[in-house]
Amino acid sequence: MVLKWEWVPQLAEGLPLTLQITFTCIAIGIVLGVLLALARVYGNRPLRWLCSAYIQFFRGTPLLVQLFIVYFGLPNWGIRLSAFWSAVLALGLNTAAYQAEYFRGAIQAVRGGQMLAARSLGMSLPQAIRLIILPQAFRLVLPSWSNEFILMLKYSTIVFTIALLDLMGKGQRLASRNFMRFEVFIVVAFFYLGLVFVVTQILHLIERRVRIPGLGAPGEPV
Amino acid sequence: MNTLLRVEDIHKRYGSEEVLKGVSFEMLKGETKVVIGPSGTGKSTLLRCINRLTPADRGRVWLEDEEITHTRTNINKIRAQIGFVFQSFNLFAHLTALGNVRIAPMKVRGMKKIVATDLAMNVLERVGLADKADAYPAELSGGQQQRVSIARALAMSPKLILFDEPTSALDPELIGEVLEVMTALASEGMTMLVVTHEMGFARAVADEIIFMEHGVVVEHGSPTQMFTNPKHLRTGEFLNKISELYGETT
């Protein structure tokens, strides 16, 4: 097996796009995911149903199909997005559905008495959610939510199918030029492994930083 | 004397069970009333109906001239004037003792952080926990947590504090410190409505005892009258039994 050093800078050219897509999607996912989760927990029946339907759709259909609907399908309706924004939209809407479920679980895991106490002091429902429920839910969600971040990093590889030159796209192009597919994709794999490692470390650090005695730590009463 | 709280004919039903079947009473400013009665007779529900944490099915409640139960009343404004102390403390788990006490003055009353911090430290001092200001709830004993939760209520300068079995979740040796704080509050003129099984506290501190059973007020009167000369047979039976069970601390 021959691995060539010159591949590394060539593949690395795809890194910024991979990171841009991943981080933008995760950001969209957090905002939309929290809103969906709040609507599912505190919303009225029609709103809850609507959000469930959204989550059901995006979790129940393949990500690649969703991407193709946005990139190849929407232009038929006169909505033409660049490849980058198609990728961000499809992946962002998709991860939002998964994140919504994580956030919902965490919001519901905050003890009921917390909301009662907040309201008894005269806080409005939005105040109680913002000041009391979410700060606790975010801490509770971190460990499981980290999975979603890592998955998104890896799922972003599918954007090469719409001709985006992310890390995977660069790899694909390189491999089809020199025919050393096995070797090239091994290097690509190690790139992702390195990314996931760094992201995992950062998330662990954040987890430790925001940790509060007795809140969500295993073995201690929550 | 002026009436601070008026409760009129409160009814509450959970499914087929009617928990409150028309409860009425009044509280004067500065008064301490203790509600006693067997478990499941609607005492806690009654407290929650007063500040509408649980909506009553029927009946009305007034805080001074304002009808709390009126649908157009801004309930958040009312609740800010009525302290509530829970059996399970319900301190905000992600905030320190200081954070717990100052958050409502800041966010509900709009107080500046520095002013709210001063106020919170004063109140923590009053319940003897100024040195625990930076501790998180999980780092405090049950008795300390309950004192912080009393401080949290006090920081809003409430007109009235509702206590829902404040010592029932505590180890016996921690009950005293909480009752001490409550006794001090009563003597300083705080208006308090207390659901409790602590007969010693009731006897020593209450201006009036309300005995409830099966969703109605069976009897009410001064501690002396209730303990020595109850009008109803059930009152006497209950008081004897509960005094045997819990002893008379304080």
Give the pLDDT band of residue B248 (cuts 50, 70, 90): low
Residues of A in contact with B108 (CB under 8 A): 121-123, 127
Mean predicted confidence (pLDDT) in B19-45: 93
Mean predicted confidence (pLDDT) in A167-196: 90
pLDDT tens per residue, range B100-151:
999 999 999 999 999 999 999 999 999 999 999 999 999 999 999 999 999 9
Q: Which of residues 116-135 of A touch B (CB under 8 A)?
A: 116-124, 127, 131-132, 135
Q: What is the pLDDT of residue A219?
A: 44
Give the pLDDT band of residue B1 (cuts 50, 70, 90): low
Q: What is the pLDDT of residue B155?
A: 97
Residue A2 pLDDT more than 90?
no
Separation of alpha carbons A206 and A149, rounded Å: 14
Q: How far is A141 from chain B (nearest CA, A)?
A: 14
pLDDT tens per residue, range B94-113:
999 999 999 999 999 999 99
A-to-B residue pairs, Cβ atoms closer than 8 angstroms: 82
With contact defined as beta carbons under 8 Å apart, do B174 and B115 qualify? no
Mutation target to probe the B interface, by most B beta carbons within 10 A, among A120, A127, A130, A212 is A120
Q: How far is A107 from chain B (nearest CA, A)?
A: 14
Alpha helices, H only, B75-222: 75-79, 97-107, 113-126, 142-154, 172-187, 199-205
Task: Give the chain B residue whose CA is nearest to the CA of A215.
Answer: B93
B245 interfaces chain A, CB cutoff of 8 Å: no
pLDDT tens per residue, range B68-90:
999 899 999 999 999 999 999 99
Give the pLDDT band of residue A217 (cuts 50, 70, 90): low
Separation of alpha carbons B20 and B23, rounded Å: 7
Q: What is the pLDDT of residue B241?
A: 85
Q: What is the pLDDT of residue B247?
A: 60
Residues of B in contact with A139 (CB under 8 A): 94
Q: What is the pLDDT of residue B246?
A: 67
pLDDT tens per residue, range A101-115:
999 999 999 988 999
With contact defined as beta carbons under 8 Å apart, do B194 and B27 qualify? no
Residue B172 pLDDT more than 70?
yes
Name the amino acid, one letter, at A204. Answer: H
Q: Give me the residue spans of the domains in chain A.
A: 19-166
Q: What is the pLDDT of residue B250?
A: 41
CATH number, domain A19-166: 1.10.3720.10
If you ran DSSP here, which 8-state letter would residue B17 be given?
A: E
A218 interfaces chain B, CB cutoff of 8 Å: no
Name the CATH superfamily housing domain B3-70+77-92+158-246.
P-loop containing nucleotide triphosphate hydrolases (3.40.50.300)
Q: Please count the residues of chain A.
A: 222
Q: How far is B165 from chain A (nearest CA, A)?
A: 15
User: If you average pLDDT over every residue of chain B, what do you get?
Assistant: 93
Widest CA span in chain A = 69
Q: What is the pLDDT of residue B63?
A: 95
Determine, for residues A131 and B103 on separate chains, whether the beta-carbon distance falls below 8 Å. Answer: yes
Residue B5 pLDDT more than 80?
yes
User: What percent of chain B is predicted at pLDDT more than 70?
Assistant: 98
Q: What is the pLDDT of residue A222?
A: 41
